[in-house]
Structure 1
Amino acid sequence: MTVQTALLWILPSLQLLCSAQRTPRLKFHLKDVPAVRFDSLQRFTAHFHDERSASLYIGMTGRVVHLSFGHGNVSQTLIPLALDDNSKDSCKSKGTLSPDLCRNVITVIERLNVSAIIICGTHAGSPSCWFLHDNGTQLATDREGHGIVNDGRGISPPSPTQPHATIAVEGSLYSATSDSFLGNGAIQRSYGRLKSLKTEDKWLQAPGFVEAAWIKMKDSSKDEIYFLFSESNGNEASERAVRSCIGRVCKVDEGASKSPQDSWTTFLKAQLLCGFPAELRYFNKIQDASVLLVEGDPQRSTVYGIFSSLWNSSAICAYSQADIDWAFKNPKLKGFTGSLPASPKPGTCGISNVPRNVLTAIRNYPELEVSILPVKDRPLYVVKHTSYTKITADQVKGANHDYYPVLFVGTGNGKIHKVLHNDGEAFIISELSPFQTEAPVSAMTLDPSTGHLFVGTPLETVRLPLANCEVYGRACWQCVAARDPYCGWHQVSKTCVSVAGAENDTESEILQSIKQLNISICDGEAGLMSFDKEPKMLTVHSPAYLYLPCPVKSYHAVYTWSYNQKDRFSCTIQDDSCPLIFNRHLPVSSGEFRCIASEDGLEEVLAVYNVRFSGSTHPDQTGTAIIIGLLAALSLV
């Protein structure tokens, strides 16, 4: 084979490398993780985990299931919340088309205080709430032993298909729904010692809420509650018919003392942009969001969002809390042309008596003129033909004591992408497949204190370790090349370990290379890595086609085959293999074939075959190709 021909064969692999950063570097099918499989397809949107515990509450139809994860097993406690016959009959008499509308689908589970968990459901179109007390599995009852039912309007939507968001803050419940009982969607506060407030109808336009977050400031009187949502964009057509927004209220908002309606006095909203302005290409609808809070320094916090487009792709955008904070603290109200006092500015937290003209301006013009742009004015990355559904984020302390944001992103087919966000760039560390059946990831809850991620689909729920370091391999370079902030190579034990679990060891004992792939820190492990199995001997009876499999480890690597350690051939990744396939268009002679993976200066030999032809040295007809391929594949197991 000539050098020119070899280059032509390698070119497709180089083109693949250009887009490699948009794909997971590694893929793992996880087994033996604590899991619960449901008997039938469940519609649930409530997923609550008590931090520092092994428990998880899942809201389903007519019940809440309390899961307690142990070592290798999961115990279940059923908390029934079925409809009474009168409510069911009343709903059916209205002639509703969907069966879900005449059921009690649990949509909200939040801990209000140390002794009470609130549960709310659709309750056949009449949203209702209940409380759990004692050990967290017993419903609060009246003197006759009946469950105490509270009005849940504005907390749970009347239909399970309506998006909503809730968060409990210091005994108060902040909820956002597109509930038709409250007009055109509303954000409200209920329970607790603070005054009940809600937005006015004209402030929101058919909103679809995805997330709520509590932003803690150094001065707690300045604390804010964020709501992330999509809403109708007026009369715009096509992809501009929907836009994404961030709304915000102050935690200590007391409402207007003489207002005829208990409305927020600090509510403001701003549009979130995610896309490529130079190309006029935007991802307009927010699908889910997560706020990564930095304790003690809220300005360094980050808002992450999944955004979708009409052309079957998803984007991840990151927004600096400092940028969001500046926009809300220096508000220029969209459409407002009047004058306002220099202080207090609209939406200022901690002000007890807001001037009437400021209240009037907010009431009529609650939107900021400025839009919030993502970090570096572009998405972290875009994935095509993959729908992202859920996202959560963690702040991970590396061996060098620096902190790295790591995202966990759920997909529409039940995968989880583990993503490093470093200096404005994204690196997809791995793709995890923990479920038996493909289904959209519908819930994700992260607990950094215990080092676990709870993930649910309508069919299954699993608990995953955040640091599953042993999957990366038994060599230093394999551990370091993963670029996983949770994991590092322990030079004493010669294993890939959790950095948090080895925090008592000195920094010099743990090797990591997070910002870029650099295995030179592994002594004696640079250059070409050898394959740890003996070469497979294959005798081929001519005539035949030859098929040699090669296991794919890193999907960011370029895979080539060498013939007698000289000529190079390209291959195309097919599932988990990059096979070498010879036919009449590419004849081959007896010799040694090696599959080599190349990635950022690292080369690893993954497969070696010594092939001998018993007849003609240039096969040109079909023969035992399938048998050879199967035998070769078995040799790699």
Structure 2
Amino acid sequence: MNFVKILHAYNRTHLYACGTGAFHPVCAFVEAGHYPLQEPVFKLDPQRTEDGKGKSPYDPRHAAASVLVGEELYSGVATDLMGRDFTIFRSLGRRPSIRTEQHDSRWLNEPKFVAVFWVPESEDPDDDKIYFFFRETAVERQQGLGKTSFARIGQICRNDMGGQRSLVNKWTTFLKARLICAVPGPDGADTHFNELRDVFLLQTKDKRNPLVYAIFSTSSSVFQGSAVCVYTMADIRRAFLGPFAHKEGPNYQWVSYQGRVPYPRPGMCPSKTFGTFGSTKDFPDEVIQFARHHPLMYNPVLPHSQRPLFLQASVPYTFTRIAVDHVTAADGHYNVLFIGTDMGTVLKVVSMAKESWHHMEPLLLEELQVFQDSSPVTSLQLSSKRHQLYAGSATALAQLSLHRCGAYGKACAECCLARDPYCAWDGTICTRYVPNTKRRFRRQDIRNGDPNMLCSEDPRRGSVPRKQLYGVEGSTAFLECIPKSLQARVLWMYQRTPDDPQQEVQMDERVVQTERGVLLRSVQRADAGLYLCHATEHGFTQPLLQLSLEVIGARQVVGMAPAEDPQLTAGPASRKVWYRDFLQLVERPPLGAADRACQRPWSRGRSLPPPRAHAGPPGRGHGEEPRKARRRRTHEGPRAERRPRSASPW
């Protein structure tokens, strides 16, 4: 069995792929491309395979992450069969292979690698760094609390060549810091999201300062939730320039190192920008020894605005993957988040500034069920040029359009209230917004979503769909109304007749409002009338649906008595009796000619003796007479006696 764990575009004609190879990792180059006037090429040369140790894990269940920069592969992986020797490894290329210190918990302690990225530090390529994102068992945890998982970010320099006498063929510039994603609480009791799941690097105009979007989940058995936190490269670099973590004191507690830090500072890349050292092999021994014993930074990396950008708690799913697109709208630029879950759904969230960039507000636009088998989303790839999102799971691959403007309705107000940066109202329909085109009637307001100014002359604003519903007295009825916008608040109004004034529907134990409408747990005669469903958002209210509810009495259903029979209000017990009779009639087989002749008194609506206060066993009547006497009175023949007894539990 060979599970592909590494797949990168090596150049224009070849891919570099690595797999587990039945617990013997193997890597190979795959020729893939399309040449003019030729068939598409996709082949692998089995004679040019190479050892995949240090690149692909042995076990497909082990997490691994890698990035291909130039001709060099940087990977975080377990290099043994048992998954105990974890390393950050550099392979391929012309430089020597470099790895982290072996079996040292201060460097890596049972890590689970999530993502790897290359980020330039300056104009000098010698300052380029590779950043690893992973979670691991924290060495600085408090005593007695057991294993605690922390999210980490690690850095190494691309031009690291290892030490001359110490840390030979080992990283000399490796440092790591904790990633914090927490909700601030009272008295410093923050709610932490420690389980790092995925990371997405959103490129900006400055390649040296991309935005880091990371998703987290909780390891707590009490509180379940997922969060998205955003980090800036300035905050990340500030943490790596801060104090080092040091273990000292009688209890060997982790404190901030207050001693002298050798020069050049550990973590700095050898280049002309920060010194005169041309290689890490020229670093003094005290720099190498300090870097060996102090790989951990004391200050953590805090998220932008000191809190998560988007948070979901008490939901039946967990975030698994994230992809972010930078979108240009009529009133500015917005970042749209696509978040995959372990239930096979994808959330679409837009991030917008509330007062300034330091106060961002998330807005959930859509939630799509992508995979019918609810398999977890294991991969999200975004193509801004093709306007497509590709979602992968263990069983399927799905292609989604970044914009589904037609799902926001057919009115200007609905398109405006959706606040989707991809969509705008063009005067006729809600369609994709293209910044470069010039259209007079194109309307879009992402920041405020106020249709009062944009849709005042909408010709479809007054048209409201109508629907007729029927409810049986004493049973349940559901009035369904779902707004197009996930942020809209639904308001229900009621009219007894079209001429009566509207009044708000009061919710109680019998009338319950749900996410999809209103549930009447026990329909009454007074519930009949006209129900109007309104959506309220940003001070704008629009009618969505008119529901006309007609209540049918229980005896009317079975044709036993006229609607004005006073026994209809005899009490709950009598209604249950008639409802049971109705079910028994439905479950009986079709009647023949003789049966129909015997049933003529029922069809005429003949009244029977008053019902008893309680329901008797199946097959017994509702009067005081025994069954045989009633048969003689109604002249039922032998055919009626062979009629099977109803098996209804009612």
Q: Name the CA shift for 1:425/1:252 in 2 (closer, same or farther; >3 Å).
A: farther
Contact kept in structure 1, 2:150 and 2:195, CA below 8 Å: yes
Provide, for residues 60-112 of structure 1, a one-character-per-residue CA deviation record: whole Å limited to 9, x for no partner: xxxxxxxxxxxxxxxxxxxxxxxxxxxxxxxxxxxxxxxxxxx2211111112
The whole-number CA distance in structure 2 between the counterparts of 1:115 and 1:549 is 55
Q: Name the CA shift for 1:543/1:161 in 2 (closer, same or farther; >3 Å).
A: closer
What is residue 380 of structure 2 aligned with on the other side? 444
Q: How many residues align?
A: 513
* Correspondence 1:175-186 to 2 at 5 A: 175-180=75-80, 184-186=85-87
Provide, for residues 11-65 of structure 1, a one-character-per-residue CA deviation record: whole Å limited to 9, x for no partner: xxxxxxxxxxxxxxxxxxxxxxxxxxxxxxxxxxxxxxxxxxxxxxxxxxxxxxx
Shift of 1:566: 1.9
What is residue 111 of structure 1 aligned with on the other side? 9
The whole-number CA distance in structure 2 between the counterparts of 1:324 and 1:541 is 64
Identity %: 28
The whole-number CA distance in structure 1 between the counterparts of 2:347 and 2:24 is 38
Q: Name the CA shift for 1:179/1:419 in 2 (closer, same or farther; >3 Å).
A: farther
Q: Name the CA shift for 1:591/1:338 in 2 (closer, same or farther; >3 Å).
A: closer
TM-score when normalising by structure 1: 0.73
Relative contact order: is structure 1 or structure 2 higher (C-alpha 8 Å, sep ≥ 6)? 1
What is residue 307 of structure 2 aligned with on the other side? 378
Contact kept in structure 1, 2:137 and 2:150, CA below 8 Å: yes
Tell whether 2:27 aligns with 1:133: no
Shift of 1:552: 4.2
Tell whether 2:343 aligns with 1:405: no
Tell whether 2:68 aligns with 1:168: yes
Deviates more, 1:275-284 or 1:236-245: 236-245
Deviates more, 1:205-214 or 1:556-565: 556-565
Partner amino acid, structure 2, of 1:270: A
What is residue 325 of structure 2 aligned with on the other side? 394
Shift of 1:590: 4.2
Contact kept in structure 2, 1:287 and 1:308, CA below 8 Å: no
* Correspondence 1:256-275 to 2 at 5 A: 256-257=163-164, 259=166, 261-275=168-182
Q: Name the CA shift for 1:538/1:177 in 2 (closer, same or farther; >3 Å).
A: closer
The whole-number CA distance in structure 2 between the counterparts of 1:127 and 1:541 is 67
The whole-number CA distance in structure 1 between the counterparts of 2:168 and 2:263 is 26
* Structure 2 gaps, min length 5: 35-40, 248-256, 272-276, 354-359, 496-500, 553-562, 584-650
Contact kept in structure 2, 1:226 and 1:248, CA below 8 Å: yes
Deviates more, 1:369-378 or 1:609-618: 609-618
* Correspondence 1:231-242 to 2 at 5 A: 231-234=136-139, 241-242=148-149
- Residue 188 (structure 1) aligned to one of 86, 89, 101: 89
Structure of greater Rg: 2
- Residue 553 (structure 1) aligned to one of 484, 487, 490: 484
Tell whether 2:183 aligns with 1:276: yes
- Residue 229 (structure 1) aligned to one of 128, 134, 143: 134
Tell whether 2:305 aligns with 1:358: no
* Correspondence 1:36-115 to 2 at 5 A: 103-115=1-13
The whole-number CA distance in structure 1 between the counterparts of 2:204 and 2:270 is 20
Tell whether 2:236 aligns with 1:324: yes
Tell whether 2:532 aligns with 1:594: yes
- Residue 313 (structure 1) aligned to one of 193, 215, 225: 225
Shift of 1:285: 1.5
Tell whether 2:401 aligns with 1:497: no
Contact kept in structure 1, 2:17 and 2:27, CA below 8 Å: yes
The whole-number CA distance in structure 2 between the counterparts of 1:573 and 1:213 is 48
The whole-number CA distance in structure 1 between the counterparts of 2:218 and 2:15 is 34
Q: Name the CA shift for 1:474/1:128 in 2 (closer, same or farther; >3 Å).
A: same
Shift of 1:526: 8.7
Shift of 1:405: 1.6
The whole-number CA distance in structure 2 between the counterparts of 1:266 and 1:395 is 33
Contact kept in structure 1, 2:162 and 2:170, CA below 8 Å: yes
Q: Name the CA shift for 1:470/1:539 in 2 (closer, same or farther; >3 Å).
A: closer
* Structure 1 gaps, min length 5: 1-102, 628-637
Shift of 1:542: 5.9
What is residue 623 of structure 2 aligned with on the other side? none
Deviates more, 1:341-350 or 1:201-210: 341-350
Q: Name the CA shift for 1:192/1:297 in 2 (closer, same or farther; >3 Å).
A: closer
Q: Name the CA shift for 1:411/1:543 in 2 (closer, same or farther; >3 Å).
A: closer
3-state SS of 2:526 partner = coil
The whole-number CA distance in structure 1 between the counterparts of 2:452 and 2:422 is 20
Tell whether 2:384 aligns with 1:484: no
Contact kept in structure 2, 1:273 and 1:373, CA below 8 Å: yes
Tell whether 2:203 aligns with 1:293: yes
Partner amino acid, structure 2, of 1:170: G
Shift of 1:309: 2.9
* Correspondence 1:453-602 to 2 at 5 A: 453-491=389-427, 494-499=428-433, 502-506=434-438, 510-524=442-456, 530-533=462-465, 535-537=466-468, 546-564=477-495, 565-569=501-505, 570=507, 572=512, 574=514, 577-581=516-520, 583=522, 588=526, 590-602=528-540
The whole-number CA distance in structure 2 between the counterparts of 1:517 and 1:292 is 26
The whole-number CA distance in structure 2 between the counterparts of 1:416 and 1:372 is 28
Contact kept in structure 2, 1:408 and 1:416, CA below 8 Å: yes
Q: Name the CA shift for 1:476/1:239 in 2 (closer, same or farther; >3 Å).
A: farther
Shift of 1:437: 1.7
Shift of 1:223: 2.4
Contact kept in structure 2, 1:188 and 1:196, CA below 8 Å: yes
Q: Name the CA shift for 1:253/1:513 in 2 (closer, same or farther; >3 Å).
A: farther
Q: Name the CA shift for 1:554/1:527 in 2 (closer, same or farther; >3 Å).
A: farther
Tell whether 2:99 aligns with 1:198: yes
Partner amino acid, structure 2, of 1:206: E
Tell whether 2:350 aligns with 1:416: no
Shift of 1:410: 0.7
The whole-number CA distance in structure 2 between the counterparts of 1:196 and 1:588 is 81
Q: Name the CA shift for 1:545/1:430 in 2 (closer, same or farther; >3 Å).
A: closer
What is residue 602 of structure 2 aligned with on the other side? none
